């Protein structure tokens, strides 16, 4: 009987380690609110340029530059459009529809990013 009891311990440890390594990517706080992912606008670039979130998550664009920018989806349409985000300002978007959204700053179209909603 003693050998059987000890055989369970390595299995339980393996299960615990597997859950830690391969468990959910988003751990939601006890409040039940989805996480917020921040994209900084810095040196005329979206950082990070490519972001993956889950449906229902919020994405925040934070303008760290000294000039106004936008975050405007170019595909698919309709997408999202922040309007002008002033220096030091932020804009929030709740990712409701799954898909891949390419976006730009309409003021500076060379600034590009991708939002993937799973």
Neighbours of 95 (CB within 10 A): 23
Q: Please tell me the total number of residues recorded for the chain in this structure.
A: 118
Domains present along the chain, CATH in parentheses: 34-117 (2.60.40.420)
Neighbours of 93 (CB within 10 A): 22
pLDDT score for 30: 46
Classify residue 53 as exposed, middle or buried by CB count within 10 Å of its CB (0-12, 13-18, 19+): buried
Residue 109 phi/psi, 5° resolution?
Answer: -60, -15
Do 73 and 50 touch, CB atoms closer than 8 A? no
pLDDT in tens, 47-93: 999 999 999 999 999 999 999 999 999 988 778 999 999 999 999 99
pLDDT score for 3: 54
pLDDT score for 31: 53
Bridge partners of 91, per DSSP, are 61
Classify residue 70 as exposed, middle or buried by CB count within 10 Å of its CB (0-12, 13-18, 19+): buried
Distance from the Cα of residue 11 to its chain's centroid: 34
């Amino acid at each position: 009987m003693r050998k059987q009891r000890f055989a369970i311990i390595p299995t339980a440890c393996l299960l615990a380690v597997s859950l830690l390594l391969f468990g959910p990517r988003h751990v939601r706080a006890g409040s039940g609110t989805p996480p917020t992912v921040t994209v900084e606008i810095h040196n005329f670039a979206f950082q990070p340029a490519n972001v993956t979130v889950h449906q229902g998550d919020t994405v925040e664009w934070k303008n760290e530059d000294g000039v106004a920018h936008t975050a405007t989806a170019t595909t698919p349409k309709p997408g999202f459009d922040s309007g002008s985000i002033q220096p030091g300002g932020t804009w929030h978007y709740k990712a409701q529809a799954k898909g891949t959204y390419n976006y730009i700053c309409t003021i500076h179209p060379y600034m590009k990013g991708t939002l993937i909603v799973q």
